[in-house]
């Protein structure tokens, strides 16, 4: 008889309680109020009132403080523990969404996921400690252990990968992809950590460049004036210092450091120097990304350099074409001169030309025409007093040149005379400067 009585009492204790409202409660102090709720576990849904409905709490203390929240699902000990009026939340994992009070439409999967969230809404956290420090931030998506861990009040952030996400609080519209990928200012996208040595794909990166959406188009692009200010260099990035600047913990820096290969020497510019060139030339140029806060760093957008480089090439082309026209003109004049010289040679004329350059310092050329039948020719140099200083035999016939070095005489005005077969052909002046 005693055994039968004990069996009846035991069956009553373990039998779920079906309240008149349709709420199912199993476990010591599991809540029974509300409509169409399911409470399974010690103190699960304990604070539910008639305002709470369609909640499902599984695990000790899950939904412990829920009073008027509805359409919530909590699976795991102390998940959604502090929820009071939050709605449409899903928490799966130990203490997931633990401090949520009125936040709504959040999804947390993993121990400590969205642990500190109180009023933030529309967040999705997958992974242990994902968005763990978030309090009021909204529309954030974190996938990976400790992803978006440091975010507390920022919104519209996305992080995919272990420990990926902003290095500081209150950033917005950032995207971090990959293990340890870090953003340091709002509206940034970062891929990979400092150990990454290659980023690529099958095709080149595309940038919006549709004329239908471009306004106030101008051609005020700086070319050579800007490009000539740049200093191309080679360098090695101090990844240890960079990681420390981003605030990556020592333990994680050590793991990343051990994964790195030998330091890679790169080519490029120093961002601060490019910024100085921009300021000096007044060129409106967006190839340098300056820090947006004390935790951000300088970056360079190398693709932006294509436009001023194209402009520089165009300017060089214009100069080259102008120089080519001058060269063609000079060649034409030279050809005409050679033609005249040939005609003079055929006529047996002897000519002495003005030296060039004149005046001169380093040296000068004295040209002349000597027919083949000239037996002896000399170029005589005199000072203004008529004193002979040099006599240079001319052995070449036809178009002949005598080169005269400036160091052979002191600065002054001199007279040179061509004598052929004992006859004075012509006399001219030249000026030597120092």
176 token code pair: 């971090």
Q: Which residues pair with 432 in a beta bridge?
A: 360, 412
Cβ burial of 161 (10 Å; 0-12, 13-18, 19+) is: buried
Q: Which of 249, 239, 245 is nearest to 295 (CA)?
A: 245
Is the residue at 170 inside a domain?
Answer: no
Q: Do residue 304 and residue 365 come from a single domain? A: no
The reported pLDDT for the residue numbered 338 is 63
Name the percent of the chain lying above pLDDT 90: 65
Residue 418's beta-bridge partner residues? Answer: 379, 426
Q: Which 3 state secondary structure label does DSSP give 386?
A: coil
For position 14, what pLDDT does the model report?
A: 38
Domain that holds residue 262: 230-308
Q: Which residue has the higher pLDDT, 126 or 326?
A: 126
274-325, pLDDT tens digit by residue?
Answer: 999 999 988 999 999 999 888 889 999 999 999 999 999 999 999 889 888 8
Number of domains in the chain: 2
Evaluate the omega torsion of the peptide bond into residue 357 and state whether it is cis, within 30 degrees of 0. yes
Domain edge (last residue) among 308, 340, 371: 308
Q: For residue range 127-172, list pLDDT tens digits in order.
A: 999 999 999 999 999 999 999 999 999 999 999 999 999 988 889 9
- Choosing from 308, 330, 359, the residue where a domain stops is 308
Q: Residue 114: pLDDT band by 50, 70, 90 thresholds?
A: very high
Kindly tell me if the per-residue pLDDT of 20 is higher than 90: no
CATH of the domain at 399: 2.60.40.1930
Residue 18: the pLDDT is 42
What pLDDT band is residue 255 in, cutting at 50, 70 and 90?
Answer: low
pLDDT in tens, 54-77: 999 999 999 999 999 999 999 999
Query: Residue 204: how many CB atoms within 10 A of its CB?
Result: 8
249 falls within a domain? yes
Confirm whether 412 is domain-assigned: yes
More confident residue, 385 or 269: 269
Beta-carbon contacts of residue 322 (< 8 Å; ≥ 6 apart): none
Q: Specify the higher pLDDT residue, 261 or 331.
A: 331
Q: Specify the DSSP class assigned to residue 211.
A: G
Q: Are residues 357 and 290 in the same domain?
A: no
Is 51's pLDDT higher than 70? Answer: yes
Helix (H) or strand (E) holding 312: helix 306-346
DSSP annotation string for 80-123 = TTT-SS--S-EEESTTTTTT-SS--S-EEESTTTTTT-SS--S-
Long-range contacts of 350-357 (CB under 8 A, 24+ apart): 350/374, 350/418, 350/420, 350/425, 351/425, 351/426, 352/417, 352/418, 352/425, 352/426, 352/427, 352/428, 354/428, 355/404, 355/416, 355/428, 355/430
Question: Is the per-residue pLDDT at 7 higher than 70?
Answer: no
80 backbone φψ class: left, alpha, beta (φ>0; ψ -120 to 50):
left
Q: Answer yes or no: is 384 within a domain.
A: yes
For the chain, what is the mean pLDDT? 88
> How far is Cα 63 from Cα 57, in angstroms, rounded to an integer?
6
What average pLDDT does this structure show over 222-237? 93
Same domain, 304 and 235: yes
């Amino acid at each position: 008889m005693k055994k039968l009585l004990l069996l009846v009492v035991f069956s009553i204790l373990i039998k779920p309680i079906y309240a008149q409202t349709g709420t199912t409660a199993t476990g010591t102090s599991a809540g029974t109020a509300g409509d169409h709720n399911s409470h399974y576990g010690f103190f699960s849904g304990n604070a539910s009132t008639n305002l709470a409905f369609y909640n499902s709490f599984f695990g000790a203390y899950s939904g412990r403080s829920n009073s008027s929240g509805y359409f919530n699902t909590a699976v795991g000990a102390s998940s959604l523990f502090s929820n009071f009026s939050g709605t449409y939340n899903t928490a799966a994992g130990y203490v997931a969404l633990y401090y949520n009070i009125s936040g709504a439409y959040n999804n947390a999967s993993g121990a400590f996921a969205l642990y500190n969230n109180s009023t933030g809404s529309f967040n999705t956290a997958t992974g242990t400690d994902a968005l763990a420090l978030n309090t009021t931030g909204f529309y954030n998506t974190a996938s990976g252990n400790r992803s978006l861990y440091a975010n507390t009040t920022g919104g519209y952030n996305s992080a995919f990968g272990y420990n990926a996400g902003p290095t500081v609080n209150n950033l917005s519209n950032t995207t971090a992809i990959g293990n340890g990928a870090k953003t340091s200012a709002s509206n940034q996208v970062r891929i990979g950590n400092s150990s990454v040595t290659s980023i690529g794909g099958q095709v080149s990166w595309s940038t919006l460049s549709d004329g239908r959406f471009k306004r106030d188009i101008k051609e005020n692009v700086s070319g050579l004036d800007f490009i000539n200010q740049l200093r191309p260099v080679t360098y090695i990035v101090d990844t240890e210092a960079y990681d420390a600047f981003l605030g990556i913990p020592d333990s994680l820096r050590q793991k990343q450091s051990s994964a790195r290969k030998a330091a890679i020497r790169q080519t490029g510019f120093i961002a601060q120097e490019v910024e100085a060139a921009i300021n000096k030339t007044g060129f409106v140029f967006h190839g340098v990304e300056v820090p947006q806060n004390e935790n951000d760093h300088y970056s360079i957008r190398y693709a932006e350099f294509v436009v001023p480089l194209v402009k520089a090439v165009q300017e060089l082309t214009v100069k080259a074409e102008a120089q080519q026209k001058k060269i063609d003109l000079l060649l034409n004049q030279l050809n005409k001169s050679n033609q005249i010289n040939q005609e003079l040679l055929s006529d047996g004329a002897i000519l002495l030309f003005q030296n060039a350059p004149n005046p001169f310092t380093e040296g000068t050329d004295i040209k002349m025409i000597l027919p083949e039948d000239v037996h002896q020719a000399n170029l005589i140099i005199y000072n203004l007093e008529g004193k002979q200083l040099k006599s240079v035999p001319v052995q070449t016939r036809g178009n002949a040149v005598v080169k005269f070095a400036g160091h052979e005489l002191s600065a002054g005005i001199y007279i040179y005379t061509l004598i052929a077969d004992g006859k004075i052909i012509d006399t001219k002046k030249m000026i030597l400067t120092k």
